[in-house]
Structure 1
Amino acid sequence: MKKLISLIVVLVVAIAAFSLGFKDVTEDYWAYDYVTNLTEKGIIPTDEDSFNGFQPLTRADASVWLTRLLTYVENSPMIAKYEDIQRVENLLKATNMKSEELAKQLEGIPEFEQRITRNILKLKYDSFGQIDELNSKIKELDKKIDGVDQGWKKYEDLLKSVQASYNDVKMAAYRGKNMANSLTEDLLDLQDQLDEATTDMASLSSKVEETNKKVTTLEGKTDHTMIWIGIAVAAALGVAGIIVK
């Protein structure tokens, strides 16, 4: 389809190109360029094969040519129209007015520059004051930061000390726990020994009581024996006295 359209366009252009030429207007004809130019712009009709340059121009032909010329002038994008010219003139007038206004404004530029210079100087002065104030605040902030750093260092030292104390307390608690465990074992051993001693004391008390009973019995027997011995001695002494007499 595209090839067919391209072929049709080529044929139309070729036919139009051939139709623009006249048999009696060759390249060596003295008015060749003029005739060709007017023909290409559609001012000279091409309904005949010959130009007939020596034939007188009739009023009808002149009317046709002038009409075609006016049509070309009105429709050609290369030729300025009255409306366009009027528009350009209006733009030029507006531009001139703007130029005059700009010239008046330019007359006040020196005063404007002086005002700007004064404002710039004032701005610089104010800026310097603000910069000094900002520098002072920065110094104060630096001092606060130094104080924070020192406080942080003290906090770190305190944290290290607390950590060391915690480790010491932890070790002491561990040792205390071991000592408590050892003391508990010793107390349990002592309790066992006390229990054994209590048992031994009870047994010893029983033995002492039995011994006391035996001693009491033995004392009773001894007293009785001594009585009999005394009686025997007295009797013996009595018998001996009798014998001596």
Structure 2
Amino acid sequence: MRQQPKSDPKPSEEFIYTDLYNAICERHLPPDTKLGEAMLAEHYGVSRTIIRQVLLRLSSDRLVKLEPNRGAFVASLSLEEARQIYEAWRLVEAAIIRDVTQSITPEQIASLRSLIAAERVACDEQNYPLLTRLSTQFHVQLADLCRNKFLGRFLKELIPQTSLAYFYEIRKMPVCTKDEHSEILELIVAGDAEAAVSAAKQHLDGIESSLNARVAFDRQMSLVDKLMSPNPVAKIRSL
């Protein structure tokens, strides 16, 4: 969990929103985890009104579900819903790659290469929260480079929801077996848009194909313990 700056005695709404957003996307908080307003308010040292606003924002992101008379929970996806998201991701990213191949600059290439290098270090060090964030960021940066901002915005709305697809064991994610992001980028740099689209499709196909092994979670851990845990892999076991 991020550290609140010492100069600010109480976390802002934006800080708490970002902290919970990252906790979900980095898989510290599994689907269906109850997000109790009172517990979160005590943990962050703020009012329940602020927590309620944060949960509403996360609900708009489709990362949290609000249930009448029950409260807020981390959202969940069925296997079919996850596959539909990956299908949409492939289609949108193909259009993005074709656009970016025509417009990418040396500075943008250097930034993406730096990101990929950091991703590989995180992979080698088995720093799964950081690896998850950086791997996602590669696709987000591609979306940001697209001149069609509607395509970019749509992909950036889809990507966080894949963190809810808890049907695979994190340690077996394909990203650690091959430097596929580098392959995609170098094909873009070479101007071969169709080969880059094909490589991106294979990359996403590999991730989607791993959505067939159910996992179970440590239900005994409290919400605060899950937020504070440095490694979400410790909370997951294969079935």
Question: Common fold, TM-score beyond 0.5?
Answer: no
Select the structure that is richer in strand.
2
So what's the TM-score if we normalise by structure 1?
0.18
Q: Which has the higher helix share?
A: 1
* TM-score of the pair, normalised by structure 2: 0.18
